[in-house]
């Protein structure tokens, strides 16, 4: 099992936040921040569950296929958010208890020998996502001109997803490059 300071540093390497004060006697003051973050995550888990239930009820009650389609997309995203929040909760709970459960995010870095080939791939993925974002935004503008508002909204959602993908890939790139140093 990782020692307390190693556990906090390991979490920081996977983007779980900055842990100022680790190892310098200020850990107790950070505990309240960690606990507040954990409570916020747990609150959002409950809210995501309530949203899923409400979307499901609305979807069952409406006869509009477009409403059902949009609610279906939103429900898929809420389910993914729920799973992510559950893992964040497990990770932060483990952090507070100096443990590591299978439900939390992994903290061990990839072996350096395996990382080398991934850096160029991740850079390519970033470029592809950035190109897709531009395409979706441009197509959305054209759809709006043609008064295809539903299509324009869906294309904007795709662009927003692409931005999220770029952010995740940039994090992976920093992690992979940092581990090689």
CA dihedral 142, 135, 66, 79 (to 10 degrees): -150
At residue 108, the pLDDT reads 74
Distance between CA atoms of residues 20 and 114, nearest Å: 31
At residue 175, the pLDDT reads 86
145: which 2 tokens?
């001109």
CB atoms within 10 A of CB 67: 13
At residue 34, the pLDDT reads 82
* DSSP-assigned states of every residue in 9-62: HHHHHTTS---TTTTTT-HHHHHHHHHHHHHHHHHHHHHHHHHHHHHHHHHHH-
Do residues 134 and 166 touch, judged by C-beta distance below 8 A?
Answer: no
Average pLDDT along the chain, 181 residues, taken 10 residues at a time: 38 36 42 83 93 93 92 94 93 89 82 73 96 98 95 96 97 83 57
Q: Does the pTM of the predicted model rise above 0.85?
A: no
**140: nearest Cα among 152, 129, 150, 148:** 152
């Amino acid at each position: 099992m990782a020692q307390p300071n190693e556990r906090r540093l390991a979490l920081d390497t996977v983007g779980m936040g900055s842990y100022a004060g680790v190892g310098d006697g200020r850990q107790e003051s950070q505990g309240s921040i960690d606990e507040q973050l954990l409570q916020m995550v747990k609150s959002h888990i409950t809210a995501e569950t309530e949203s899923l239930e409400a979307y499901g009820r609305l979807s069952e009650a409406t006869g509009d296929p477009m409403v059902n389609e949009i609610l279906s997309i939103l429900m898929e995203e809420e389910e993914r958010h729920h799973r992510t929040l559950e893992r964040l909760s497990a990770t932060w709970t483990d952090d507070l208890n100096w443990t590591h459960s299978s439900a939390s995010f992994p903290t061990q870095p990839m072996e350096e020998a395996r990382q080398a080939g991934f850096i160029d791939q991740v850079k390519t993925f970033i470029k592809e996502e950035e190109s897709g974002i531009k395409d979706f935004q441009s197509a959305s503008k054209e759809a709006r001109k043609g008064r295809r508002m539903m299509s324009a909204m869906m294309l904007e959602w795709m662009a927003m997803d692409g931005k999220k993908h770029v952010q995740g890939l940039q994090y992976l790139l920093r992690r992979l490059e940092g581990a090689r140093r």
